[in-house]
Amino acid sequence: MIKENKAILSDAGVLFDKITDARLMHDQLEATTSDGLNLYRLWQIANGLADDDTLHQISQNFTARRQFKAILAQKAQAFQPRQAAASSDSNHRHGTDFDVQIMPSASQDGLVYVQLIFHQDQAQQDTSAKMLISHCNGVFRQKPLTTPQTTPQTTSLTSSLTSSQDQRIQILLHHDDPMLTDLRNPETELYIK
């Protein structure tokens, strides 16, 4: 075979591989499970377009859970992996990006302050954190890190209240909030985005 024909066949093979890869990617993006969680939807959810019911759907689907964790790992501003049980007390977690400190409120029974304390190198990054996401035992939970807008329907303290200053974000949670249980569990992975 002459050189020109080999080059044409080689180029055709490369083009065929690209078309095949593009088709497989398109099929993956379009593939929707019975609960409507395709890769595009998971990407949207990781960008903050999720409610608790959607996170529950992800938690129930092994493939979606795995894909969502991979997307979160890419999108998160800060991450705290699982802790060694012996190195973590239930009210303080150390991490490379941030620490978590849990303190009961002295003035209000049943309320707990959670402080996310960012480290110095994190301070130089974008600090517009909007969401804390926990992943423990296959279940995802989220808490907003911006002060919620109060409406007549949401004036109770069941939702979290947050404040941010000096590379610290403080969240006020009720003592039986599932997110607080996750924060105290050394098996929990934490994402801030």
Options 2.40.30, 1.10.3470, 3.90.920, 1.10.150; CATH for 77-193 is 2.40.30
**Range with top average pLDDT, 20-29, 73-82, 121-130, 143-152:** 73-82
With cut-offs at 50, 70 and 90, classify the pLDDT of residue 2. low
pLDDT of residue 178: 92
Do strands 189-192 and 139-144 pair parallel, antiparallel, or not at all (unpaired)? unpaired
pLDDT at 169: 85
Task: Report the C-alpha gap between 136 and 180 in whole angstroms.
Answer: 12
Q: What is the pLDDT of residues 51-72, one digit of tens each?
A: 788 888 888 888 888 888 988 8
pTM given for the model: 0.69
For residue 152, the 8-state DSSP code is G
What is the phi/psi pair of residue 44, to 5°? Answer: -60, -45
At 172, is the secondary structure helix, strand, or coil? strand
Identify which has the larger pLDDT, 62 or 30. 62
pLDDT band with cut points at 50, 70 and 90 for residue 119:
confident
3-state secondary structure of 131: strand
Residue 70 is inside which H or E element, if any?
A: helix 62-75
Q: Coil, strand, or helix at residue 41?
A: helix
Provide the 8-state DSSP code for 147.
Answer: P
Which has more confidence, 45 or 107?
A: 107
Residue 58: how many CB atoms within 10 A of its CB? 26
Q: Is the pLDDT of residue 168 over 50?
A: yes
Every domain of the chain and the residues it spans: 77-193
Report d(CA 136, CA 28) in Å as an integer: 27
User: From CA 78, how far away is CA 101, in angstroms rounded?
Assistant: 16
pLDDT band at 156 (very low <50, low <70, confident <90, very high): very low
**Secondary structure class of 83 (helix, strand, coil):** coil
Q: Would you say residue 102 has pLDDT above 90?
A: yes
